[in-house]
Amino acid sequence: MNNVTIDGIKTSVPEGSTILKAAESIGVKIPTLCNHPDQAVKGNCRVCVCEVEGSRLLSAACVMPVWEGMVVKTRTPKVIEARKTILELILSNHPQDCLNCIRNQNCELQTLAEEYFIRDNPFSQKTRGLAKDYSTPAIFRDPDKCINCGRCIEACSVIQNVHALGKVGRGNKVIVAPMLNGSLADSPCVMCGQCIHACPVGAIGEVEEIDKLLAAIADPDKIVVTQIAPAVRVAIGEEVGMETGTMPMDVFVSGLRQLGFDHVLHTNFTADLTILEEGNELLKRLKEGGTLPMTTSCSPGWINFIETYYPDLLDNVSTCKSPQQMFGALAKTYWADKMNIDPAKIYSVSIMPCTAKKFEASRPEMVDSGFRDVDLVLTTREIGRLFRMSGIDFDKLAGADFDSWMGAYTGAAVIFGASGGVMEAALRTVYEVVTGQTLENVNFEVTRGIEGIKEAEVDLNGTVVKVAIANGLANATKLMDEVRAGTSPYHFIEIMACPGGCIGGGGQPITKTNAKRVERINQIYVEDEACEIRKSHENPEVKTLYEEFLHEPLGHQSHHLLHTHYTAKNKKVL
Amino acid sequence: MSYKEIIARYAEVPGGIIEAFHAVEKELSFLPEEAIAEAARVFKMPAAEAFGVASFYSMFSTKARGKNIIRLCESAPCHVAGAAEVVAAIEKELGIRMGESTKDGLFALEFTECVGQCQATPVITINSKPYLDVTPAIVPNILAEYK
C-alpha cells in the first residue's frame, strides 16, 4: 500500500494505483474524456491533469501511478487553466452544433465544457471537413466530431474482435476511420453498435428513423403494429428519468398506445416460439447426427460476425430466424388473418435494444410473408426520444394490456434479454420434452451473469448435453475457434454479440459502464420471477398458433416462415 | 515480382511489415489496398491496423503515384537558398503541381523534410538519390536521366 495525499485528504491505496483511482476512492472527482472505466488506459486527451508536488510538469491522473508519500493537487489554478486550455483546443476542432447533435445533453465533452464554463474560446474554430458516413442502414459516423480518444476502436477490436475501425495518419492529422480508410459498409463492421456506447461524443450513432414511424402513424391507410424486444423494458425507463427496470410493462404498453401505435404486441411471443423451434432443431440434430455444436441465431450482430469471419461454420448456426423476424413473418400472415386485416396495410415496427436489427430487417431474404416482414426498426433510444417529445408523464399514466394473439409471453422469453437467457429458456423446455417430467426448479443459475464465457452440463434422461454461452464477440471467437479446430466439446452454444446480451445492445440507452449492464441483467430475472408461466412451451398463445397454423415445430409452415439460411459475406480484404 | 511474392519474403521477419511495405513501394511506388490487406494476412494483424502502419509513415503512399518519386526539401536552409524557384522549374518541366503525378506515371512530386545535405542547398532527391546545388537551369538535365 502507498500513502498519498490528494487535495489535503490522506489515504492509502494499493501500489500501482493511478492517481485517478486513488482520487475516486476518496470521492475526489477528476474529469476524464478518453478514459473508459471498462477499457485499457489511453492517456491521450490529458484533461485529467493534476499537480504532483515536486514535479515541474502536470501529470495525467489516468496513467500516473502513485508513489509513497505522493502529494497531489487536483484543483489548483494551474490545473484548472490547463484543463480549460485542453478543452478549448479540443472544441476548436469540434463542430459547434450541439443543438443538432444526437448526443445533445448526453455528451462527455459537452458536460465538461459546461463544468469548466468554456465561454469565449480563444482558439479559432477549424473543423476537419470530413464526410459523414451513412453507408450502413444501422450506424452512422460523423468523423468531424471525433476527438480521437480511441474508445470505439477498443470496443470494436478488443471487446468485439471485429476490427472495423482503426487510426489513420499521424500527429494532428490522425483520424479514426473504418478499415482501409473506407466506408463502414465496406469494413467488417457487424453493426453491433458497441462503438456508440464507447463514444464520449456524437461521432457515432444509430441511423434514426423516427420520421418514418410518424409518417406511418399519420397515414390513415396504415395499421401500425409494434413488437417490443425482451431487453427493452428494463432500460427504457432510463430514457425518461426512471431507475433501471422500474418502468412497469403495462405502463410502457400504454405509453406506446399514446404514441399512436394501433396494436402493441410482443417479441417475447416469438421468443417463446423460437424456443420451440430451436429446441426441437437441437433435439433433431442430436438424434439424427446433424451438425453440432448448434449455435443460436437470435443476435444479428453475431450473424453478421459469423458470415464475415466464420463463413465455413454457417451450418452450425440454427436455421431459426431471430424472434424479430419470426414475428415479422407471422404478423403479416397468421396475425393478419386472425385479425381480419389486409396484410398490405400492416406497417410492422419493432422496438429493439439493437442497431444490427435495423440491418437484419432490411435483408433481402426477409420477405417470406410476401411483404417486407419488418418495415421499421427503432432502437430503445429512439423510442425514448419519442416519449420525451410526446411529454408523456409515466407516473400518471394508467397501464394497458397487450393486444391479442401475439402478445402473451412467459418468463422464459423475458430472459432472452440477458446473456444465457436463450440457453436457460431452451433448457427449461428441452428438459421437459426429453424427460417427460416436470421441471420443478426452472432456475439454471449457472447460465446467468455477465461473465464472458459460461458453460454447463445437463443430464437429459442419461444423455449429457454440454452447453456454452458467450457474450461479446471476442468471447464468441474463442468458442468458434474450437469449433473450427474440431475440439469443441459442446452440443449447443448461445452467442450474443453484445456484452451482457441484449440488455447491453447497441440501441440501448447510452451505457457508460458494465455495472449498468449488470443492473439491467438483475432486473431481467426479477421480471422472469414475477411471471406466472416461465416455460415457453406453456405459452397459451403459442399453443394456439401451433394448433391453428403451424401444426408442428419444424413443420412445413415453420420451414417457410420461421427458418432461413445465412451466407458468407465475402468481404474482399479479409 | 507480384506484391504477394514480395510480402512473402518478409513473412518470418519480426515486425517485417514495414520492410515488406518498403519493398512493395520499390516495385510499385505505392501501397495498393490489396497489398495492405495481403500484408495484414501474412503478418496476422487486422487490416485496419496494417493500414494504420501504412498511413503513419510519410514515406509510404496509399494512393497511386508516379514511378520516380522526386522529393523537394522544404526545410529552412533549402528555402533560403531558393527552393521555391526549383519547385517552380520542376512543376513547369513536368506540367504537374506538388503532390501530383505525371499522367504517364513516370514522376511523382512531393515535399520532404531536411535530407541532411545542407552544405549544398537546394537539395532534391529522386528515388532517394540526392541531387545537390540544384538550380532551375539544370532541372531538365536531371529529369532526363529518368525519361
Counted residue by residue, chain A has a size of: 574
Q: Which burial class, exposed, middle or buried, applies to A374 when counting CB atoms under 10 A from its CB (0-12, 13-18, 19+)? A: buried
* Segments of chain A scoring below 70 in pLDDT: 572-574
User: Where do the domains of chain B lie?
Assistant: 3-56, 68-144
Q: Contact A157/B52, CB-based, under 8 Å?
A: no
Residue A405 phi/psi, 5-degree rounding, is 80, -30
Q: Which residue, of A180, A206, A232, is where some domain finishes? A: A206
Cβ atoms < 10 Å from Cβ of A257: 15
Is residue A120 situated within a structural domain? no
Which residues in chain A are closer than 8 Å to B40, comparing Cβ atoms? 573
Amino acid type, A219: D
Based on the fold, state whether residues A38 and A77 are members of the same structural domain: yes
Q: Which residue of B has its CA nearest to A172?
A: B56
Based on the fold, state whether residues A365 and A473 are members of the same structural domain: yes
> Of A3, A4, A9, which Cα lies nearest the Cα of A71?
A4
Based on the fold, state whether residues A175 and A229 are members of the same structural domain: no
Are A283 and A434 a contacting pair, CB within 8 Å?
A: yes
> Of A403, A411, A432, A407, which Cα lies nearest the Cα of A541?
A407
Q: What is the mean pLDDT of residues B24-32?
A: 94
Catalytic annotation, residues of A: 278, 281, 298, 318, 357, 360, 365, 502
Which residues in chain A are closer than 8 Å to B47, comparing Cβ atoms? 163, 179-180, 573-574
User: What are the grid coordinates assigned to A111, written together?
Assistant: 458536460
Q: What is the mean pLDDT of chain B?
A: 94
Is residue A362 situated within a structural domain? yes
Is residue A96 situated within a structural domain? no
Q: Which helix (H) or strand (E) holds A74?
A: none
Q: Contact B48/A180, CB-based, under 8 Å?
A: yes
Q: Which residue of A has its CA nearest to B33?
A: A180
Is residue A97 situated within a structural domain? no
Which residues in chain B are closer than 8 Å to A170, comparing Cβ atoms? 55-58
Q: Contact A180/B49, CB-based, under 8 Å?
A: no
Kindly state the DSSP code that residue A454 receives in the 8-state scheme. Answer: E
The position carrying cell 450482430 is A301
Using omega within 30 degrees of 0 as the cis cutoff, is the peptide bond preceding A293 cis?
yes
Inter-axis angle of helices A421-435 and A267-288, to 10 degrees? 60
A572 to chain B, any CB pair closer than 8 A? The answer is: yes
Residue range of the domain that includes A373: 211-562
With a CB cutoff of 8 Å and minimum separation 6, the contacts of B146 are B68, B106, B107, B126
Alpha-carbon gap, residue B107 to A336, rounded angstroms: 68
| A551 torsion bin: left (phi>0), alpha (psi -120 to 50), beta (else) | left
Q: Contact B37/A572, CB-based, under 8 Å?
A: yes
Is residue A55 situated within a structural domain? yes
Alpha-carbon gap, residue A178 to A20, rounded angstroms: 31
pLDDT at B126 over 70: yes
Based on the fold, state whether residues A396 and A528 are members of the same structural domain: yes
Based on the fold, state whether residues A387 and A489 are members of the same structural domain: yes
Q: Which residue, of A39, A62, A90, is where some domain finishes? A: A90
Q: What is the dihedral of CA A391, A397, A399, A405, to 10 degrees?
A: -30
What is the SS3 assignment for A422? helix
* CATH code for position A69: 3.10.20.740
Q: Contact B52/A165, CB-based, under 8 Å?
A: no
Model pTM score: 0.94
User: What are the grid coordinates assigned to B65, written together?
Assistant: 503515384
B51 to chain A, any CB pair closer than 8 A? The answer is: yes
Count of structural domains, chain A: 3
Based on the fold, state whether residues A66 and A84 are members of the same structural domain: yes
Where do the H-state alpha helices sit in A44-120?
A: 77-92, 108-115
With a CB cutoff of 8 Å and minimum separation 6, the contacts of A441 are none
Based on the fold, state whether residues A182 and A228 are members of the same structural domain: no
Inter-axis angle of helices A77-92 and A108-115, to 10 degrees? 140
Cβ atoms < 10 Å from Cβ of A451: 13
Q: What is the mean pLDDT of residues B79-108?
A: 94
pLDDT at position A299: 97
* CATH code for position A527: 3.40.950.10
Residue of A141, A170, A174, A179 best to disrupt the B interface, most CBs of B under 10 A:
A179
Based on the fold, state whether residues A408 and A445 are members of the same structural domain: yes
Based on the fold, state whether residues A69 and A186 are members of the same structural domain: no
Based on the fold, state whether residues A432 and A528 are members of the same structural domain: yes
Is residue A103 situated within a structural domain? no
Is residue A118 situated within a structural domain? no
What is the SS3 assignment for A290? coil
For domain B68-144, the CATH class is alpha beta
pLDDT at position A172: 87
Based on the fold, state whether residues A215 and A167 are members of the same structural domain: no
Counted residue by residue, chain B has a size of: 147
Q: Which residue, of A64, A90, A116, is where some domain finishes? A: A90
